[in-house]
Structures are given as structure tokens and as C-alpha cells.
């Protein structure tokens, strides 16, 4: 007698005695158990012979209860499934009090489920999202491994605060109430665990560059942090980032890599997560029906994923994009919240979505941005005012990838750091890369949760990570 | 004209014009460049026609310089390689000052290389170690994906301090010098970013249990932290852990899983990292030659890896192991540093290695440990004094995996928490798993750097992670 998962059983065509464990999703007519074990979004129907089953057992078959079932796999009489189990024995492994169990067999609000995040993967929506998240992770590792990249774990605790990507969390083992002080009355971090002030990293890019300049092609996939008090549906204090970095690759190569990578991981989930994606596609469609027509998205979820895999990403310079936007209807009719007036403007999500969804009707890669709205490490173009940066824009979500060719010239990099008051002593090792065997190199960053939102159709970033960290919230 | 990597070129048999970029490892006789691009530990020899090359270019071909080479791939005349490049053109992309470049073509101490960790992957040893680390990571993801596990990102910042696995780092955005105080004069964490005191996680296990109890089979692979002032070759303040967790799996199943998993990932690197492993095997052998005979390991590196893949792991109860150790020669002759006197003793690395290397001559799984030397969440046996814990012991290193069946009974778990003063309010969500559909479940933890040490033969944990975090050190 073998033990199966629901996923394997639903594919069985060989009828026989089976044994399976899982949780009761519903129990109706004192007869039909919908059993789920997390291996798939689908339940297997288990038909209880209630006339020959102890009434005390029947009472304990409640939503959320863990059960062990033995029975015969038979062709299903009902609709929607090909097989079911005619139960010959059922054992209650763990009860679930129907009165108090938070996950009732009805629709719960996402807010309620966030408060019960330890149980929310017992619902169809969240189990689908988290299986999809796992599949996307694997697709990412597989893509890079198949393409000769090495995975690198960049440090989480960093002694450098020169990255400049945002507010940082302090990491300390000092007495929080009475920290040791220097003669000048400042906190004396020399006495802290690491002998210096340390923070949680905002990016692994600079360290990834050190490995690209020796191993050639590397990528990071790890947690990053922002201590910004942004209480929105798009921000987390703790989120996961993917950052590939490649030696001898210029901005054009970077665009090729990013396009191929994004298409590859999305193709992977289209091929490997059909049931979960179909469920999420239907879920989003039904949710959108409740919205006014104008706010609904024009594409269903799976359509949007195919829009990415089936279109060439249109490559457009920032300068060209500004021209298009300045002359666009919503800009002239002042329908944009932020009107584009001149070159140098930072683009907002509304502009990015206009370019993708209305103008080009394809994913877009913008490149050659004004230097002063981008980071210090980006390669300055010969025009002296733009840098070799690129952003990839997707439908519904706007910017999903940001990358650049890195400034490989020591003198230019030093000038840019000086202009921004970034001390050379802080980044001596980063400068060394330009002193010894420097070369053109490039990379990009992808916020993993933005990708999961895009692929799942979930609209709040708190619903695509197991235990979200946001202002005032570090529960579980 | 295609661009190749050194790895692909060395496998080419089709002679033709090629173009390649990389870094000069050595340049001898004004003629032979050993070129490396990180794709493999092997260099490709590039033969410069020095009579027809500008002397100013020749001077700039120094160790560490980045170069672009065009030439004809030809059969090699020299030993040790099948092909080489007859250079027709060489361009210096980035110079490397031979006087100041830290990575000279000679043997450096590991301590010196730790101080230059941003450049150390430009050496054979560290490039091999980090490629191996990457391959082990992929093998882990692949194993779990192939076996129906879902990858889960457990939180890094935690509001829970009940895990009890060690000292924690505090994460805060409060003013470090003048934190807000409560009326009682304590730091008022209600005003901190998360509205409570938060720390860096020591383990993702408890959260992984929540997902196992809905998705069935899950695993984590993420950074964990200890603020312990341990300045040893075996401890890091920041390290990566793998923690699978499986519903409906008991301790015997846990042992099966762990053995199959360890064998699988080590088989993967034996099959996919032959060149790097051979280099590391030779390196270790040569290093050990300098030691007194008694301190050398009995097995070479690759032998030790095969010792794991080719032997059945011997399963021995703690009680049986204590008997064996008590009656062992080194115990009776007081050769152990810690003499085993009675049941209840915590085993040290010397005891674990004796069992593996001398007594059983195979990897060993010890199980059913005394409850009072193990964590609160482990399943109490019917004897009331042992728990369903297991440790896997490997040659040379001792314990490499620690796991257990988890206490699934609400009343027993509550009693154990009360005995240890762990407040129920802290772990209300963990207790919920025992209230609603509880079931037998198990999992284990593997310190990733311990695995990389074992597989690479490196003896200092600081040499198997890109940028180690240890007391007084958070450089880069």
C-alpha cells in the first residue's frame, strides 16, 4: 500500500487501494470530503460510506482537520474530477474545531488573512501564490545555472553605508538603553559586535561586481531591506532581490540578457504552474468584475504573461520616450497626474504604463537616462549628461527591472563619488576593481516580489511573501 | 566571430578564429599568456607573436590585466592542454600594475586573502570553492524541486525571540544615542519601525512548520544569524541554512529524507564539478603533507565525498552510542578531552568523529537524544526522557545535520514551553498549528557553510563564504 500525494493520485489511471493524508477542505452531505495536501490546488474527493462509519468519527470530519484515509481509487461519478476515493477507513489525525477555526469554508478578506498569515496558505488563493512563488524561484536558479552563471551570497549585514539606495536598518548588539559613548559623546561603535556601525544591506550589487570581475557571470538572490516608512501596497521593509552581474557585457548585452531571462522564467511558470495560474487568472477576472469598467485591466492574467513571452521588448531611449509622452493625449489633456514638461523628468508608473499598454503595446526597455536621476556607479555616456541605465517596463506594473552598464573608468568613478560626497575609503575595494584589470561590465536588479505580483495578479505586495515586514508589523 | 568562454573553448575540437576576453593569470617568456575568465579553473594558453607585437602592449600584459584576444584556436604543442590560441590581436582592456596588484602569481596566505576578499576569487583555490558553493546551492534547489518541495522565504527580521537557538542581533531604526523611553525608563520599542523589538532570525523552522502544515513539503534556504562572540574557524555571525519541513513524516522518514538529500547533493558536485574538486583534493593533500602524520586525515577529499555517497548511513540510538563510547579505547585510556561517563552527556566533535571514522566507518545518524539537551519543540518519546531528535555525523567534521520530529500534541508542547518560560502569547501562531489539524511532522537543518567546508576540504569557515561576518569584522 503506497502513500501518494493528491497531485500524483489525480493523474493515476490504475485503480487500486490507496492511502493518503491531508486536510479536509469541506465535508458535505455527510459523505463527500474535499481533501487537500498542498501538493496541488486541486482537491481529491473522498466518498465516505457514512452508514458504516462511526458517528463520532463523522462529527470530527470538519474543515481544517487532518485525516488519514485508506480507500479504493475509482472512476469518479461526479463532475470536475476523473477519479475519487471510495473510503474504506478514515482516521482523524488532528481535529479542527469548526466553531473557532479561523479559515472557514467561505470568502475571507485579504486583510483578515494577513492577520492569520500562518494559516492563509490553507486557502486556494494563497496556496496558489506561494507555489507560484516557489516555481519562479526555481526558474530563476535554473536559468542562471543553465547559462553558466554562479550563484553568490552577498552579505546581509554591511559595514558600508555608501550604496545610497535608501534608508537602512541598524544592526547592533550594544546595550540599546545605555550604549557606550566616545569622548565626543557619540555612540562608540568600536565596542559593537563588528567593531563598527553596521546596517542591513540595500543591495548586493557592489559585492556582486567583485565576483563578476573574477568569475565572469554571477548572480545574487537574497533578502534586501529599506527602512522607509512607506505604508503602501507596493513597499516592503524586507524583500528579495535578484541581481545578475556580468563581466565584458555592455548595456546592449544587458538588455538581451534581461529580456531573455524574463521571458524564460515566465515561460517556465506558464508551462509548470498551469492549474495555479488558471485559478489565479479566474480569481483576478472575478475580482475585476466588481470594479468600474475604466479601472479593469484590458488583459487577463495569462494573456498578460503571454504578452511578455510573445512580444519583442521595444527598446527606446529615455529622450525618445520623453518626446512621445510630451506629445501624448493624456499629457496634452492633462490626464496624467504628473505632466511631462521637459527632458530630465523622472517617469512615474502612469507614464511607464502608457508607453507599454497604449503606445507600444509591448514590454518596453527604456535606456540612456539622465545622469542626475540615476546612481553614481552607472556608466557615463559620451554626451556627459546621460548614463547607460535601463529600466524594463511591464503592463499593469510599470518598472520591473532596473539595470546599467557600470562605470569602469577609475577617474570618472572617483569624480562622481566626490560630487556625491561618497568617501573613497568606504569603497576602496570597489575602486580596486577599476585599478586592477578593469573592464566593461553590466547587470540589473529585479525585485522578486514585483515579479510574483506580476505573475500572480495579486495587487498587494503583502500577499506575495509569506510574512511581510512593513511599518508597525513584524508578526510571526 | 563568436565570443566563447574558456570553459567552452577548452572543449572545442573545431579549429577556427575565436575571440575571447579574460584576465591574465601569468605571462611568461614574453610569449605565453595563461588566460582565465572564471568559467573554469583551467586557463587557456594564448601564444603571443611577440616579434610582431608592439612592445608597449607586451609590457602591459601583466598578472591581473583584462585583455581581449583574437586568434586561431589550434592544437596545443605544450603539455596539459589540448588546444591553445595563436594570438593575432590583443587589446588591453584594463591594466594591472604589477608592482601594486595584491594577487601576485605566488602562494598567498589565506589570512592575507581574507583581507583582500574582493580579489581572492582571482586565485585558483577561491574560484574553485565559490564555483563549488554555487553548484551545491543549485543541487539543493534541484533536489527539493524534483521531489515536490516548495521553496519558502522565511522572514529575516523577526519579532519573536522565543526560538531560543542563540544570541540575537537587534534590528532598529531608533535614534541609537537617545532612544525614546517608556515611563519605566526602558527603550520604547513601540516607537521603533515595527512597533516592537525586532531581531535577526536564528532559524526559519517555526515559520517553515506553518507552511508544511498547508503545502505539505517545504524548505527554506536563507541567511541566519548568531550574535555570539565566537572567534573560531567554525563560527560565523551570518551564515546560510537549509531547513526542509514535511507534514505527515515521522523521524524514520526524516532520516530517509536527510540521507537521500545529502547523497544527492554530493553526487551532483562529484558529477558536475570534477575539475574544481580535483584541484581542491590535490590542494588539501599537499596542505596535509606539511602536518604530522597523526593529524592528517585518512581520506583524501574525493574519497571522503564518496564515503558519504557510497555508504549506508548507520542509524544508532543515542543510548547505544553512549555505550559504545563509554567502552571505547580512547575513553578508557582517557584520550578523549571529554570523558564520557554517563547517559545524558552532550557529545563533542571528538566523540562524533570516533563513531564515524573508527567505530562504524560510515556516516552515522544518532537519534532519540535526552530531552534536556535538545530544543523545546522536539517530539517527546513515550519513555518521557528522550526526544525524537537526530543528528547526522560526517567524517572530519562531526555533526552536519540536526533535525527532529516536532511535538504535535498541544498539551505536551504547552507544558514544555511553560517549563522553559516561553510565553504562549509569543508563539500563539505556532500553537495554532496544534489546535487546527495537527499531525506528525518533521524536518532538519543543514548549515550551508558546513556543507561547503565538507565538500571543498577548506578548514576555516571564513574561506567558504564570499564576505564572512565575524566578531570585529564586517568589511566589504
Give the model confidence (pLDDT) of B312-334 as tens digits.
999 999 999 999 999 999 999 99
Q: Report CB contact under 8 Å: B119, A210.
A: yes
More confidently predicted of A439 and B167: A439
C-alpha cell at position B438: 495537527
As a whole number, mean pLDDT of residues A128-142 equals 98
Share of chain A above pLDDT 70, in %: 99
Structural domains in chain B plus CATH codes? 6-101 (2.40.50.140), 124-167+203-463 (3.30.930.10), 174-201 (no CATH)
Q: For residue B1, what pLDDT is reported? A: 47
As a whole number, mean pLDDT of residues B246-274 equals 98
Chain B segment 250-289 residues within 8 A of A by beta carbon are none
Name the residue facing A151 among B138, B210, B214 (closest C-beta).
B138
One DSSP character per residue, A384-406 reads: SSEEEEEEEEETTTEEEEEEEEB
Q: For residue B164, what pLDDT is reported? A: 64
pLDDT tens, residue by residue, A172-186: 999 999 999 999 999
Contacts A185 to B, Cβ<8 Å: 177
Share of chain A above pLDDT 90, in %: 93
Provide ipTM, 2 decimals. Answer: 0.97
Q: Which residues contact B333 (CB under 8 A, 6 or more apart)?
A: none
Interface test with B, best of A68, A170, A216, A221 (most B CBs within 10 A): A216
Interface test with B, best of A64, A97, A149, A466 (most B CBs within 10 A): A466
As a whole number, mean pLDDT of residues A226-230 equals 93
Is the predicted pLDDT of residue A122 greater than 70, yes or no? yes
The secondary structure of residue B283, as a DSSP letter, is H
Q: How confident is the model at residue B205 (pLDDT cuts 50, 70, 90)?
A: very high
Q: Report CB contact under 8 Å: B121, A93.
A: no
For residue B219, the surrounding DSSP H or E stretch is strand B217-225
- How close, in Å, is residue B349 to chain A by CA atoms? 27
For B363, half-sphere exposure in the C-beta direction (CA atoms, 13 angstrom radius) is: 27
Instruction: Tally Cβ neighbours within 10 Å of residue A22.
Output: 28
Q: For residue A163, what pLDDT is reported? A: 61
Q: Which residue has the cell 458517528?
A: A55
Q: How confident is the model at residue A1 (pLDDT cuts 50, 70, 90)?
A: very low
Instruction: Tally Cβ neighbours within 10 Å of residue A312.
Output: 9
As a whole number, mean pLDDT of residues A199-203 equals 96
As a whole number, mean pLDDT of residues A341-351 equals 95
C-alpha cell at position B133: 558553493
C-alpha cell at position B294: 597523526
As a whole number, mean pLDDT of residues A294-303 equals 90
Q: How confident is the model at residue A263 (pLDDT cuts 50, 70, 90)?
A: very high
pLDDT tens, residue by residue, A416-474: 999 999 999 999 999 999 999 999 999 999 999 999 999 999 999 999 999 999 999 99
Q: How confident is the model at residue B3 (pLDDT cuts 50, 70, 90)?
A: confident
Share of chain B above pLDDT 70, in %: 99
C-alpha cell at position B248: 505527515
**Residue B195: Cβ-neighbour burial (10 angstroms; 0-12, 13-18, 19+):** middle
Name the residue facing B432 among A119, A210, A223 (closest C-beta).
A119
As a whole number, mean pLDDT of residues B384-393 equals 98
Q: How confident is the model at residue B444 (pLDDT cuts 50, 70, 90)?
A: very high
Chain B interface includes A158 (CB < 8 A) = yes
Chain B residue closest in CA terms to A64: B437
Q: Report CB contact under 8 Å: A193, B473.
A: no
Contact B95, B62 (CB under 8 A): yes
pLDDT tens, residue by residue, B217-259: 999 999 999 999 999 999 999 999 999 999 999 999 999 999 9
Q: Report CB contact under 8 Å: B216, A37.
A: yes
Is the predicted pLDDT of residue B105 greater than 80, yes or no? yes
Phi, psi (degrees; rounded to nearest 5) at A369: -85, 160
The length of chain B is 476
3-state secondary structure at position B52: helix
Q: Report CB contact under 8 Å: A207, B137.
A: no
Q: How confident is the model at residue B203 (pLDDT cuts 50, 70, 90)?
A: very high
Contact B133, B53 (CB under 8 A): no
Chain B interface includes A471 (CB < 8 A) = yes
Contact B211, A130 (CB under 8 A): yes
Q: How confident is the model at residue B297 (pLDDT cuts 50, 70, 90)?
A: confident
Is the predicted pLDDT of residue B2 greater than 60, yes or no? no
Pairing mode, strands B157-158 and B32-36: unpaired
Least confident of A52-61, A78-87, B33-42, B183-192: A78-87
Q: How confident is the model at residue B81 (pLDDT cuts 50, 70, 90)?
A: confident
- How close, in Å, is residue A122 to chain B by CA atoms? 5
Q: pTM of whole model > 0.90?
A: yes
Chain A segment 355-414 residues within 8 A of B by beta carbon are 408
As a whole number, mean pLDDT of residues B291-304 equals 91
Distance between first and last Cα of chain A: 38
As a whole number, mean pLDDT of residues B207-226 equals 98
Amino acid at each position: 500500500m503506497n502513500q501518494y500525494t493528491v497531485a500524483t493520485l489525480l493523474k493515476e489511471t490504475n485503480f487500486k487501494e490507496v492511502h493518503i493524508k491531508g486536510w479536509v477542505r469541506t465535508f458535505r452531505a455527510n459523505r463527500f470530503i474535499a481533501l487537500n495536501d498542498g501538493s496541488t490546488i486541486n482537491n481529491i474527493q473522498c466518498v465516505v460510506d457514512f452508514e458504516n462509519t462511526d458517528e463520532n468519527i463523522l462529527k470530527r470530519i470538519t474543515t481544517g482537520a487532518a485525516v488519514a484515509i485508506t480507500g479504493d481509487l475509482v472512476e469518479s461519478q461526479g463532475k470536475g474530477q476523473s477519479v475519487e476515493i471510495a473510503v474504506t477507513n478514515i482516521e482523524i489525525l488532528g481535529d479542527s474545531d469548526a466553531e473557532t477555526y479561523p479559515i472557514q469554508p467561505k470568502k475571507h478578506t485579504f486583510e483578515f488573512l494577513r492577520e492569520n498569515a500562518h494559516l492563509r496558505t490553507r486557502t486556494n488563493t494563497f496556496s496558489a501564490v506561494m507555489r507560484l512563488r516557489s516555481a519562479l524561484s526555481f526558474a530563476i536558479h535554473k536559468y542562471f545555472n543553465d547559462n553558466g552563471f554562479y550563484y553568490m551570497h552577498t552579505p546581509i549585514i554591511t559595514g558600508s553605508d555608501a550604496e545610497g539606495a535608501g534608508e537602512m536598518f541598524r544592526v547592533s548588539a550594544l546595550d540599546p538603553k545605555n550604549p557606550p559613548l566616545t569622548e565626543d559623546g557619540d555612540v562608540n561603535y568600536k565596542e559593537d559586535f563588528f567593531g563598527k556601525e553596521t546596517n542591513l544591506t540595500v543591495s548586493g550589487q557592489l559585492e556582486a561586481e567583485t565576483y563578476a570581475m573574477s568569475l565572469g557571470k554571477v548572480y545574487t538572490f537574497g533578502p534586501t531591506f529599506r527602512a522607509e516608512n512607506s505604508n503602501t501596497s507596493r513597499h516592503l521593509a524586507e524583500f528579495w532581490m535578484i541581481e545578475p552581474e556580468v563581466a565584458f557585457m555592455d548595456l546592449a548585452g544587458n538588455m538581451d540578457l534581461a529580456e531573455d531571462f524574463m521571458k524564460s522564467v515566465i515561460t517556465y511558470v506558464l508551462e509548470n504552474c498551469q492549474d495555479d495560474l488558471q485559478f489565479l487568472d479566474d480569481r483576478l477576472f472575478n475580482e475585476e468584475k466588481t470594479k468600474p469598467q475604466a479601472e479593469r485591466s484590458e488583459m487577463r492574467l495569462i494573456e498578460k504573461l503571454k504578452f511578455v513571452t510573445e512580444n519583442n521588448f521595444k527598446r527606446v531611449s529615455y529622450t525618445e520616450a520623453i518626446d512621445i509622452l510630451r506629445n501624448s493625449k493624456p499629457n496634452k489633456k492633462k490626464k496624467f497626474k504628473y505632466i511631462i514638461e521637459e527632458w530630465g523628468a523622472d517617469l512615474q508608473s502612469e507614464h511607464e504604463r502608457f508607453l507599454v499598454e497604449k503606445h507600444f503595446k509591448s514590454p518596453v526597455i527604456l535606456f540612456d537616462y539622465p545622469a542626475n536621476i540615476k546612481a553614481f556607479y552607472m556608466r557615463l555616456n559620451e554626451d556627459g549628461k546621460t548614463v547607460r541605465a535601463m529600466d524594463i517596463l511591464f503592463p499593469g506594473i510599470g518598472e520591473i527591472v532596473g539595470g546599467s552598464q557600470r562605470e569602469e573608468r577609475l577617474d570618472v568613478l572617483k569624480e562622481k563619488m566626490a560630487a556625491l560626497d561618497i568617501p573613497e575609503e568606504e569603497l576602496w575595494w570597489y575602486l580596486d576593481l577599476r585599478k586592477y584589470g578593469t573592464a566593461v561590465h553590466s547587470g540589473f536588479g529585479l525585485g522578486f516580489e514585483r515579479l510574483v505580483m506580476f505573475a500572480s495578479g495579486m495587487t498587494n505586495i503583502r500577499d506575495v511573501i509569506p510574512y511581510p515586514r512593513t511599518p508597525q508589523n513584524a508578526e510571526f
